[in-house]
Structure 1
């Protein structure tokens, strides 16, 4: 079930909220159980085949947490299960290994690995099965994150539930912001991306740049939109999820980018991979090695493919170069061009991330450099007035993908402006989510929501569902 579907908005969510409000008044102790059942139904709605996998994972890790001598064994089993579903097709190709990836397995596996490791380090575990089930399967985050930490979430599930209309107003507002990012920005831009990353497309200079810029901002608004929707939905129940994005394309360097992009995953990789590897405690060479290993494994976490390995290697190399440069010069790059250099490096890496294979990635990168030709696509050379007015029309005799994607170009320009100049969700609502009601805010939110509904004629999955 998708957040951007009518069945979720007008059937599932109202039923879950109604049950929550009824239990809040009559049986507050049952709320955790209600939300856990609703979350399991949410996961099994599209495909019940993998619901037993989620339940088995929850029961197994709950059992391991109660028997601390088995915690290392539990981590190994979690990693083995993740490796089987995500990497068997990659490392053992063949007709007998056509394995379908369960949705959300990376997120609920990493969430439980962090929980087991913290228990092994001496942290307090959650020994009530219902609360632990809710922590792992909580539907706002289950499919595509954020990656939750039990120290942040368990106290919120454990405290007495209460009805706070400010939470409802804030939650709905944040949800609408995320829905707009997905429906009004990310989805329209997608038509500019697919044809450029088709194998053997060999895009020319303008095509390659439009497709690369399109994916850069499609991925951001798609994934940050999901994260905003998850945060907003959770706030309806008085639960605060961690922030996951903080204007990443404004980053001054690659380290800053990873402090702003997919923040919950960055924190996980730092605390449970980079630091245990040794971090920066044993000299610069070990630090560079640990950075490279962390990013390589972070790339593999996204999927089993050489493109993800190369993407992780690129970001590892970026981090090594950045820290090496700072160690040599004792200075950071000036912010005004450091931001542009960082964005360019990130875009180059996104090409590899998006491409179906390394050969296609090479073709797109050649196109960015002009190696595939720099002439305007056929049909555009005489359209300067129309381009200036953004008045592209499908009847023009341009190449097919430009014709289909012409109306999306204004959306891409709007997305770029918003990414660089508009406040992100964190800035819009404040770190403490302070929010004061006003008629104009309600009117804007309602208008944006109606615009989203009118544009939900085609339901599309979120990009991070495949990871």
Structure 2
């Protein structure tokens, strides 16, 4: 089921909200169970054949976590239990996500004749990483004992289940345990509806609206210089507003239940460096890779050379996490290279004179964006060969077909660029403060309630009118 669908907006979400608050009158546990069951129902609409796998994953990780939390085992057996738990998660993820990729590469190398076509469970990367973080923290002694219903809801919570954010138990389970979240809060419901409406419009009005331009480069066998740039830039903005819209909708839905989700998107095209970009793009994935991969590898504690090696390993695995294809490996390698260059420049590069600081900042934003666009070409391309050909056309102004259509397309892209760089993002508009659990203060929601209700209704209407028959979020495939 998609957030941007009529069944979700007009049936599933209202029924789930009403049931959650109705069960809230019966105690603290009943609404948790209701919401966990509703989340499983949400998942089963599109992936009913993998519900058993999801439940088995929850039971397995909860059992492993229970053994680690009890701390009754000696250090060596505890480490073995952790290893078994993480290995079990990665084996399941590997079978479903990478077995076909491995078989295809073995066939290409050794002509084995073996081909595998494994159906990928939606959301498996997200709920696997969420639970691996839980197990590692349990081993480190940073996890309290949680009731099974609360843990099950933590994993299955439908606003995050399909495409993130990657949740952390310390942030989410205490919110599920609090009694006050089981009662309707008109302020949070209104703010949640406003954020949901903005996200829906980003998806159906902006991301889906620019999708046809992407084919200018990626759907054409022989794009010209200007067509290659139009397609590459269009995909950069399509992915930007698609993922931004999903993150807004997830936060807005969760707010209606009184639950604050962590920020996962913060105007990444305003970044002044690749390091800054990864602090703003898919923020929870960046934090996971840093805390559970980069730092355990040694981080920057073992000298600068190993720091660069660790960065490359982290980003290569981050690329593979996004998809089982060499294009994603190259995308991860490019970002690893960018990060190494960024850190080297920070250590050895000159600083801009104070009077040139504004110009240097502008140049940094443009250079960072162009580097990201180049990497996005590999992210979107069907093959490395296609990506290389598109990039070759992007640096070959000798092949130009600038006509009336291309001029109109570039004008269209300018509007998207202005929104990405000049407009405030949703959390700035709404004053969303995940850390302090506050929202709406910046715009005086109650003082301006009539105006905001009308504005929300208008944006929501535009978003609903833009719903196409079936338009998945791009991150659903990861």
TM-score normalised by structure 1 residue count: 0.91
1:291/1:319 contact within 8 Å kept: yes
From 279, 291, 298, give the equivalent of 2:299: 279
1:19-50, CA deviations, whole angstroms, 9 ceiling, x for partnerless residues? 01211234443010000000001111123111
Q: State how many pairs are aligned.
A: 441
| 1:356 is the counterpart of 2:382 | yes
CA shift, 1:177, in A, is: 0.8
CA shift, 1:411, in A, is: 5.1
1:176-220, CA deviations, whole angstroms, 9 ceiling, x for partnerless residues? 11101100000011111134213x712111111110110001001
1:185/1:411 contact within 8 Å kept: no
CA shift, 1:128, in A, is: 1.2
| 1:235 is the counterpart of 2:258 | no
CA shift, 1:372, in A, is: 6.8
Which deviates more from structure 2 when the two are superposed, residues 426-435 or residues 309-318? Answer: 426-435
| Residue equivalent to 1:81 | 92
1:402-441, CA deviations, whole angstroms, 9 ceiling, x for partnerless residues? xxxx6xx665433221111111112112233234232222
Alpha-carbon separation, structure 2, partners of 1:256 and 1:47: 36
From 180, 199, 202, give the equivalent of 2:201: 180
CA shift, 1:67, in A, is: 1.2
| Residue equivalent to 1:418 | 419
1:271-291, CA deviations, whole angstroms, 9 ceiling, x for partnerless residues? 001100111111110111111
Which deviates more from structure 2 when the two are superposed, residues 421-430 or residues 53-62? Answer: 421-430
2:188/2:439 contact within 8 Å kept: no
RMSD between superposed Cα atoms in Å: 1.7
Which deviates more from structure 2 when the two are superposed, residues 95-104 or residues 8-17? Answer: 95-104
Q: Which segments of 5 or more consecutive residues in structure 1 lack a partner in the other structure? A: 391-405
Output aligned runs, 1:110-259, within 5 Å: 110-160=129-179, 161-198=182-219, 201-259=221-279
1:126/1:132 contact within 8 Å kept: no
| Residue equivalent to 1:365 | 391
Alpha-carbon separation, structure 2, partners of 1:444 and 1:414: 21
Output aligned runs, 1:376-395, within 5 Å: 376=402, 380=403, 383=404, 390=408
Distance 1:359 1:317, change over 3 A: same
Alpha-carbon separation, structure 2, partners of 1:321 and 1:361: 22
1:119-173, CA deviations, whole angstroms, 9 ceiling, x for partnerless residues? 0111124431111100000000000000000010011011112221111011101
Alpha-carbon separation, structure 2, partners of 1:79 and 1:371: 46
| Residue equivalent to 2:123 | 104
Alpha-carbon separation, structure 1, partners of 2:290 and 2:27: 41
Alpha-carbon separation, structure 2, partners of 1:125 and 1:49: 32
Output aligned runs, 1:301-380, within 5 Å: 301-329=321-349, 331=351, 334-370=360-396, 373-376=399-402, 380=403
SS across alignment from 1:193: helix
2:216/2:228 contact within 8 Å kept: no
Alpha-carbon separation, structure 1, partners of 2:93 and 2:144: 23
| Residue equivalent to 2:470 | 459
TM-score normalised by structure 2 residue count: 0.89
Alpha-carbon separation, structure 1, partners of 2:477 and 2:369: 24
SS across alignment from 1:113: helix
1:24/1:163 contact within 8 Å kept: no
CA shift, 1:90, in A, is: 0.8
CA shift, 1:325, in A, is: 1.6
| Residue equivalent to 1:35 | 35
SS across alignment from 1:127: coil
| Residue equivalent to 1:12 | 12
| 1:443 is the counterpart of 2:454 | yes
1:259-306, CA deviations, whole angstroms, 9 ceiling, x for partnerless residues? 010000000000001100111111110111111111111000001111
CA shift, 1:96, in A, is: 5.0
From 284, 288, 291, give the equivalent of 2:308: 288
1:36/1:130 contact within 8 Å kept: yes
1:97-133, CA deviations, whole angstroms, 9 ceiling, x for partnerless residues? 2101110000000000000000011112443111110
CA shift, 1:11, in A, is: 0.8
By percentage of residues, which structure has more helix?
A: 2
SS across alignment from 1:427: helix
From 439, 452, 460, give the equivalent of 1:433: 439
SS across alignment from 2:218: coil
Q: Which segments of 5 or more consecutive residues in structure 2 lack a partner in the other structure? A: 69-77, 105-112
Alpha-carbon separation, structure 2, partners of 1:372 and 1:246: 37
1:366/1:372 contact within 8 Å kept: no
1:208-246, CA deviations, whole angstroms, 9 ceiling, x for partnerless residues? 111011000100110111111001100111100000111
SS across alignment from 1:118: helix
Alpha-carbon separation, structure 2, partners of 1:261 and 1:446: 29
